[in-house]
Amino acid sequence: MKRMSAGTYYIGDPCYIFEESWQDALNETEFFRKDKLFGKDIFVNSTAYGDGLFYDNHGNSYPVDAGMIGILPIELINKDAKISQEDIVKQKFGTVQTFTENFTCDYEDGEFRFGHIRINTKGIEDEEEWIDEE
């Protein structure tokens, strides 16, 4: 479990926000085994079965092409300017979430937990039951 500070974050596969600095990101984090990137706290883990399209408990989709999902401070999308905050949302490459209070991140048995957001990458029996009513 990792504690993160309140703020705005990108949630999704990190490969979508890096281009020229992708190899630097992999090297600095030892392929995302470390929880700091370019001086910022991050939380990244592998999905249960690799690439695919996964959903959170609010119905948002998360495509995965590098076999991982993470939460990274929104400032990191400016590192390579590969994609804008608006395009992340519009093109559905993950989500941009603002947390008004400190929160925890965890991964267990294929499920990511970023504060109130849960992403199941292992598969679920009843998707209707998974998505929270708003």
Q: Please write the tens of the pLDDT for every residue from 41-89.
A: 999 999 999 999 999 999 999 999 999 999 999 999 999 989 899 999 8
**Per-residue pLDDT tens for 84-105?**
999 998 889 999 999 999 999 9
> In whole angstroms, what is the distance from residue 22 CA to residue 45 CA?
16
- Asked whether 38 and 28 are in contact (CB, 8 A), the reply is yes
- Identify whether 92 is part of a domain: yes
Domain that includes residue 82, residue range: 2-123
Tell whether 64 is covered by a domain.
yes
- On whether residue 84 sits in a domain, the answer given is yes
Domain assignment of residue 49, yes or no: yes
Position 64 scores a pLDDT of 97
Q: What's the chain's average pLDDT?
A: 92
**Confidence band (pLDDT; 50, 70, 90) for 123?**
confident
The number of distinct structural domains making up the chain is: 1
Q: Is 60 inside a domain boundary?
A: yes
Tell me if 116 is assigned to some domain: yes
- Contact yes or no for 5/102 (Cβ under 8 A): yes
9 falls within a domain = yes
pTM higher than 0.75: yes
Query: Would you say residue 133 lies in a domain?
Result: no
